[in-house]
């Protein structure tokens, strides 16, 4: 086991696996990991990132049957997946749930654009299968905040230079404290105003709302698979095209990601760009409300590669994708090739047949999701139980559609 999500999920998973008879080695990369690693299976990483490949290669030679990690694009995890591929060792990759709430991602090989899902042959889907897509909301926000504070405080105060090489993102303590304080302020003080804006939009413009799903700029999905796109570029191109080609009665809504709520200053850029193009009354920016709620009233979604596109697919809403993602299949969504694709999208967005969308979502649930939550205690209990079963069956990697 390598790096996990903030909190005790990997510790509890390791203990569950040990109780089931597995021999577990959980690598500790710094003081921020030690509090959430069981002593019975803790193994300290002794090399820097440059030497990690050699260190892990030696470990895999001891008879390791499976590598378990969270976030397939973290620096150490990209190295680990490469070595595991060379040694034919299965890799179980955890990530936040593709479909939320109520599920976590637990799949073989990689996450997001690196997931085997991105290479599926959709012609082989069983179109009689439909998405179940019902999960429990375990209310994991505040536990996540608490565990994140604990981990990043330990990391910022006590990690040495070698240990810092394994960080997948730099998070200065003072700026993070400010941004997360602002996140909470915006959620609870300003949030009710945003909910009111959404209610008004969905009542007045239902079926005539286009949503731009923004993402966390430091997310691996953006850094690895955005194909040169970022938030400022998406804002400029989408507003410019919307002003010229969208129906004059349509509204354009920019949805800020909850994890970026405190860090984002995109509202100023969006409002300034909308004013430049003379459509400031038709452009809204919100950081509250669920994507699922918006999709029930939307006529289209634009995104670089956010997994919120899966919610649009579930609701039969056309999606225009600019980067690479798990659902960048031309049978499912519109793929950006030129600015003409944006211009056409406002009036001629592509919607895949319901049986294709439902079969695809079903396969994601079947192959890549398990019930539970990484942070809330009752959600972790379910996630540990189902994840342990999947890991213990991984001596032979399940056959994936399209392989």
Residues 114 and 103: their CA atoms lie apart, in Å, by: 19
CA neighbours closer than 13 Å in the CB half-sphere of residue 195: 9
Other C-beta atoms lying within 10 Å of the C-beta of residue 221: 23
Instruction: Tell which residue, 93, 124, 131, 85, has the closest CA to residue 403.
Output: 124
Is 334 or 49 the better-scoring residue by pLDDT?
334
Which residue ranges does the chain devote to CATH 3.40.50.2000?
193-358
Residues 247 and 303: their CA atoms lie apart, in Å, by: 20
CA neighbours closer than 13 Å in the CB half-sphere of residue 20: 18
Q: What average pLDDT does the segment 82-89 reach?
A: 93
Q: What is the pTM of this model?
A: 0.87
Most confident of the ranges 56-65, 175-184, 368-377:
368-377
Task: Give the rounded distance of the alpha carbon of 203 from its chain centre.
Answer: 29
Model pLDDT for residues 196-224, shown as the tens digit of each residue: 999 999 999 999 999 999 998 878 788 88
10: β partners: none
pLDDT of residue 402: 38
Residue 252 has pLDDT above 90, yes or no: yes
Instruction: Tell which residue, 52, 77, 55, 98, has the closest CA to residue 1.
Output: 77
Residue 177 has pLDDT above 60, yes or no: yes
3-class state of residue 28 by DSSP: strand
What is the third-level CATH fold of 193-358?
Rossmann fold (3.40.50)
pLDDT of residue 100: 87
CB 60 within 8 A of CB 82: no
pLDDT of residue 157: 73
Model pLDDT for residues 270-313, shown as the tens digit of each residue: 999 999 999 999 999 999 988 988 999 999 999 999 999 999 99
């Amino acid at each position: 086991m390598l790096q996990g999500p903030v909190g005790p999920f990997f510790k509890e998973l390791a203990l569950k696996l040990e109780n089931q008879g597995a021999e577990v080695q959980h690598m500790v990369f710094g003081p921020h990991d030690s509090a959430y690693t069981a002593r019975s299976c803790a193994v300290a990483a002794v090399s820097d990132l440059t030497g990690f490949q050699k260190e892990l290669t030696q470990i895999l030679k001891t008879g390791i049957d499976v590598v378990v990690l969270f976030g397939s694009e973290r620096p150490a995890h990209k190295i680990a997946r490469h070595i595991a591929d060379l040694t034919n060792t299965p890799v179980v990759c955890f990530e936040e749930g593709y479909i939320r709430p109520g599920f976590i991602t637990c799949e073989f090989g990689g996450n997001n654009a690196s997931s085997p899902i991105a290479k599926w042959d959709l012609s082989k889907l069983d179109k009689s299968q439909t998405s179940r897509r019902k999960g429990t909301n375990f209310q994991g926000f505040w536990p996540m905040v608490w565990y994140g504070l604990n981990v990043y405080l330990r990391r910022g105060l006590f990690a040495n230079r070698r240990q810092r090489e394994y960080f997948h993102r730099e998070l200065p303590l003072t700026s993070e404290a400010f941004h997360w304080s602002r996140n909470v302020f915006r959620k609870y003080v300003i949030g009710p105003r945003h909910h009111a804006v959404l209610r008004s939009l969905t009542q007045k413009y239902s079926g005539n709302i286009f949503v731009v799903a923004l993402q966390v700029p430091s997310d691996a999905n953006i850094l690895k698979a955005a194909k040169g796109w970022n938030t400022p570029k998406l804002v400029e191109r989408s507003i410019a095209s919307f002003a010229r080609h969208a129906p004059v009665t349509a509204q354009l809504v920019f949805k800020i990601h909850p994890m970026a709520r405190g860090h984002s200053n995109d509202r100023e850029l969006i409002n300034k760009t909308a004013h430049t193009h003379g459509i400031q009354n038709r452009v809204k920016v919100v950081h509250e409300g669920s994507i699922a709620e918006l999709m029930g009233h939307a006529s289209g979604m634009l995104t670089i590669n956010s997994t919120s596109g899966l919610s649009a697919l579930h609701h039969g809403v056309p999606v225009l994708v600019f980067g690479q993602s798990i659902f960048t299949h031309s049978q499912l969504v519109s793929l950006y090739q030129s600015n003409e694709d944006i211009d056409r999208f406002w009036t001629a967005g592509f919607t895949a047949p319901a049986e294709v969308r439902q079969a695809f979502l079903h396969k994601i649930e079947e192959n890549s999701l398990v019930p539970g939550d990484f942070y809330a205690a009752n959600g972790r209990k379910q996630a540990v139980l189902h994840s342990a079963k999947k890991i213990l069956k991984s001596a032979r990697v399940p056959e994936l559609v399209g392989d």
